[in-house]
Amino acid sequence: QTDTLYCIGCGAVLQDKDESKSGYAPTKTLEKAAEDEAVYCKRCFRLRHYNEVQDVELTDDDFLNMLHELSQKDALIVNLVDIFDFNGSIISGIQRFAGQNPLMIVGNKVDLLPKSLKQSKMRQWITEQAHLVGIRPDSVHLISALSKDHVMDLMEQIEKARKGKDVYIVGTTNVGKSTLVNQIINLATDESDVVTTSYFPGTTLGKIEIPLDDERMLVDTPGVIQPGQLSYYLSAKDIKEITPRKEIKPKSYQLNEEQTLFIAGLARFDYISGNDKQSFVSYFANDLYIHRTKTEKADDLYSSQKGELLTPPSEDSEIASMKRYEFVTSGPSDIVFSGLGWISIDQADTKIAAWAPQGVDVLIRKQLI
Ligand code: GDP
């Protein structure tokens, strides 16, 4: 009779039976884990040591099981999302998984958005976006998990909303869950960095329970790596380069038809046709290199300059070839490259092509800013 063993990277239950399923590790590794050694599943191990993404099934069974368990609990469910990557980080089935439980959506990393953006507008936008994917949160909050004050305010809101119940914090990887949970622990204990944070997807430790003052628990559940997000395919160094650290400074580009923007070597935006010369505003990490060229020259430029002028990706990232998506706007819109940023378009009937490495989500949404 052995205890269940968890990967310390993604929190998946370790198993040595099926390589294609989550939590797989060789039998030797499992034996080490059984002797209380901290071990990674093969996927996290390879991701960390070789920047190699393993081909595993899209549905992470463990994550779904964990979410499924939520509906059996009597608890407040707090879904932490990254507002800089809302669509990539929202858990689309969360309403179903929450069941009868109250659901709170907390948008993190508010410090990255322009200060001019009103919080009430932002909350309204999150609520609308949530409704679009069938999620009806009981409340929506905005924080920066880096700010102790924000986290204190949030804890007050949670305290009011939980009505004596347990609290489950759920979120996909990279939304800042460890950062938030660290802050919460700090508030309680003043001990810093109890939970590991890092740029790297999959570093939330499996299941952390923080006692609340009425014998209830605040439970930090493990995250899951989202294959639609660009960070899934990048090395730790490249993730660092694309991750915004400070308030994003929007950059405006006047483009003619048949002009192209490269966002480093990770995304491409072609203005195909529309109302003649137009202004496009980009929202990416401030230092990310953006290159303008003629669309007819773009293919050649990409093949000769990827990893050179157009970097990241550096050579330690293994990204797939670029896939093209075409969109026509019907009003003010954002073209989102999941995990990287977005380009905003004001005018309707603008036809564009957006490219990103195969597997990375590219979508159009109502303009945020
Ligand atoms: P987890 O995978 O959800 O546990 O995410 P982490 O806590 O490891 O955070 C992922 C990345 O986001 C790290 O680089 C954090 O420093 C960063 N981060 C977390 N919270 C915030 C925030 O409020 N603002 C900003 N700018 N970055 C944040």
Task: Say what the pLDDT of residue 60 is.
Answer: 62
pLDDT of 132: 87
- Cα separation of the two ends of the chain: 56
pLDDT reported for residue 274: 96
Query: Which ligand 1 atom sits closest to the C-alpha of 198?
Result: 8
Ligand 1 center to 367 CA (angstroms): 24
Question: What is residue 352's predicted lDDT score, i.e. its pLDDT?
Answer: 97
Minimum CA distance residue for ligand 1 atom 13:
199
Cβ–Cβ under 8 Å, residues 216 and 158:
no
pLDDT digits (tens, 9 = 90+) for 254-288: 999 999 999 999 999 999 999 989 999 999 999 99
Mean pLDDT of 16-33: 87
pLDDT average, residue stretch 132-150: 94
Q: Categorize the per-residue pLDDT at 190 as very low, low, confident or very high, splitting at 50, 70 and 90.
A: low
Which atom of ligand 1 is found nearest the CA of 108? 23
What's the confidence (pLDDT) of residue 75? 94
CA distance linking residue 126 with residue 129, whole number of Å: 5
How far away, in angstroms, is 200 Cα from ligand 1 center?
A: 10
The CA distance from 85 to 340, in Å, is 8
Does the pLDDT at position 235 exceed 90? no
Q: For the chain, how big is the Rg over CA atoms in Å?
A: 21
Pocket test for ligand 1, best of 197, 204, 207, 248 (most atoms within 8 A of CB): 197
CB of 197 closer than 6 angstroms to any ligand 1 atom: yes
CB environment 320-342: b (16+ within 10 A), e (fewer): eebeeeebebeeebbbbbbbbbb
Domains along the chain? 1-56 (no CATH), 61-226 (3.40.50.300), 251-366 (no CATH)
Looking at residue 196, its pLDDT comes to: 43
User: Ligand 1 pocket check: which of 110, 154, 179, 237 to mutate, most ligand atoms within 8 Å of Cβ?
Assistant: 179
Task: Say what the pLDDT of residue 172 is.
Answer: 83
The mean pLDDT of the chain is 85
Q: Could you tell me the distance, in angstroms and rounded to a whole number, from the CA of residue 174 to the centre of ligand 1? A: 6
Check if 111 has its Cβ closer than 6 Å to any atom of ligand 1.
Answer: yes
Q: How far, rounded to the nearest angstrom, does the alpha carbon of residue 208 sit from its chain's CA centroid?
A: 20
Atom 27 in ligand 1: residue holding the nearest Cα: 109
Q: Whose CA is nearest to atom 17 of ligand 1?
A: 176
Identify which of 112, 150, 174, 183 to mutate to test ligand 1's pocket (most ligand atoms within 8 A of the CB): 174
> What is the three-class DSSP state of 240?
helix
Q: What is the pLDDT of residue 177?
A: 84
Work out whether strand 341-345 and strand 278-283 pair parallel, antiparallel, or are unpaired. antiparallel
Neighbours of 55 (CB within 10 A): 8
Residue minimizing CA distance to atom 9 of ligand 1: 176
* Stated pTM of the model: 0.78
Residue 56 has pLDDT above 50, yes or no: no
Please give the pLDDT value at position 48: 60
Q: Which residue has the higher pLDDT, 143 or 221?
A: 143
